[in-house]
Amino acid sequence: MNPVSAFTVVMLVWTVSDFVSKKTKSLLSSLFVASLIFIVGFKSNIFPEDLLTSSSMLTLGSTVVGLVLVHLGTTISISEFKQQWRTFLIGFFSVLGIVTALFLLGPLFESRNYSIAAMGAISGSTISVIMIQEKALSLGLLSVAVLPVLISAFQGVIGFPLTSIILRKEAQRLHQEYKAGNLKLTPKPKEDVNVKKTILPEALQTTAGTLFCLGLVVVISTLLII
């Protein structure tokens, strides 16, 4: 399929998904709607098999996702991270429990490779799935590469609407608490214009310099994982 046409079709799917999400007040998330559209489209052969490959979105995703994760990490201040130490411990021990359980149940599968591939999809996110898939494909393990993608898709089908419902109820609860006067808004502190917002040297305080630093961190992280 023509790359421009493929990219346009993918963007159309996301446009429709965002529209449905807004109309349902996020009861149906855009990710959930997009997942359903792609499933129906590929199963009914409305979408060509090479749609995503031709759109270059997969290549772009494998390149950009790492940069986005590093950027998100820089938005978390040390003081805020200390306040959220309980969240960190819950996440850490959850991942540890998942890894332990999968290794113990690994022998039940045909190969322990499947349990290793499942870890990234269950305890990680898109970047984990991409990394596992690329490694499995390089080793010729096609079925192992497919497993984390299936797990991630299945999680989305169940998780997206469930998350939307939970967040909507929490938002309604907070709104009622605020109307009742039980919640007070904390004024946002004014930013000090004299505070230095970056530790980068002046030569790297450009768009290209910042992207270079992000890419360098991603490369080092990838090498440490390998």
* SS3 per residue for 165-224: HHHHHHHHHHHHHHHCCCCCCCCCCCCCCCCCCCCCCHHHCCHHHHHHHHHHHHHHHHHH
Quick one: how many helices (H) and strands (E) in the chain? 10, 0
* Encoded tokens for 128: 């984990």
So what's the pLDDT on residue 26?
Answer: 67
Whole-number Å distance between alpha carbons of 12 and 140: 34
3-state helix, strand, coil in the chain (%, to 5): 75, 0, 25
| Cα–Cα nearest to 73, from 221, 174, 225 | 221
pLDDT of res. 128: 72
Whole-structure pTM value: 0.53
Is there a contact between 67 and 217 (Cβ–Cβ < 8 Å)? no
Give me the pLDDT at residue 226, please. Answer: 58
Regions of the chain with pLDDT less than 50: none
The token pair that represents 85 in the structure block: 């130490």
- Residue indicated by tokens 């995503």: 52
pLDDT of residue 125: 66
Residues whose CB falls within 8 Å of the CB of residue 21, separated by 6 or more in sequence, listed in order: 28, 29, 30, 33
Residue 20: predicted pLDDT: 86
Q: Output the pLDDT for position 8.
A: 81
